[in-house]
Amino acid sequence: MADSSWDNGGQSTRAKQGMSIWAKVALGCGVVVLLGLGGCVVLGATCAHAIGKSMDGPEWGHLRRAVEQLGSDAGAKDLYEANPDLWKAYPSENDFIKTAQSWRPKLEPLPAQMPGVFGGHINYTVNMSGGFRRVELGYTNSKNALVSSRWENGRLQTIEVH
């Protein structure tokens, strides 16, 4: 007849080798969580890059050209004449040219492509309402000078160097 007792009669029991089932479940869940977090980071970075590139408007090219023009008195004169709204900030052409002269030591050419907005060198704000587009665009160059501008429907309203 079979012994119905749970007692092993003093025989030694061998310890199980390997991880318990709960340790395996916990390890599997940990791997899933890490993969999920990694996927979220990659997705977030991809979206941020796409958003930054989609904001790249025509104003960057215009600002590059304006900075080039500020490099000479003739260029500053042409910039002032081509953007009649600048008279609100600079009442006369001579005022604008004198101001541009004071900015020249701080200026340097802007990069051909607009840097990403998450790189820290760009301030870029776009407001659109009823077909009206207002853009505030600033760039901090390697001389730590901030070139800031405001554009309304593609027309330069103000430009400053701080």
Q: What is the pLDDT of residue 54?
A: 45
Q: What is the pLDDT of residue 3?
A: 56
Q: What is the pLDDT of residue 152?
A: 93
- Quick: pLDDT tens for 56-73: 578 999 999 999 999 999
> What's the pLDDT band for 85 if we cut at 50, 70, 90?
very high
Q: What is the pLDDT of residue 9?
A: 62
Cα–Cα distances in angstroms (integers) from residue 40 to residues 29, 33, 34, 46, in the given order: 17, 11, 10, 10
Asked whether residue 45 carries a pLDDT value surpassing 70, the answer given is no
Q: Return mean pLDDT, the chain.
A: 85
Asked whether residue 126 carries a pLDDT value surpassing 60, the answer given is yes
| Per-domain boundaries in the chain | 59-161
Among 40-44, 128-132, 142-146, the least confident range = 40-44
**Mean pLDDT value across residues 33-47:** 76
∠ CA 59-129-155, nearest 5°, is 30
pTM of the model: 0.66
Q: What is the 3-state secondary structure (H, E, C) of the chain?
A: CCCCCCCCCCCCCCCCCCCCHHHHHHHHHHHHHHHHHHHHHHHHHHHHHHHHHHCCCCHHHHHHHHHHHCCCHHHHHHHHHHCHHHHHCCCCHHHHHHHHHHHHHHCCCCCCCCCCCCCCCEEEEEEEECCEEEEEEEEECCCCCEEEEEEECCEEEEEEEC
Distance CA 99, CA 84 (A): 16
Q: Are 36 and 29 in contact (CB under 8 A)?
A: no
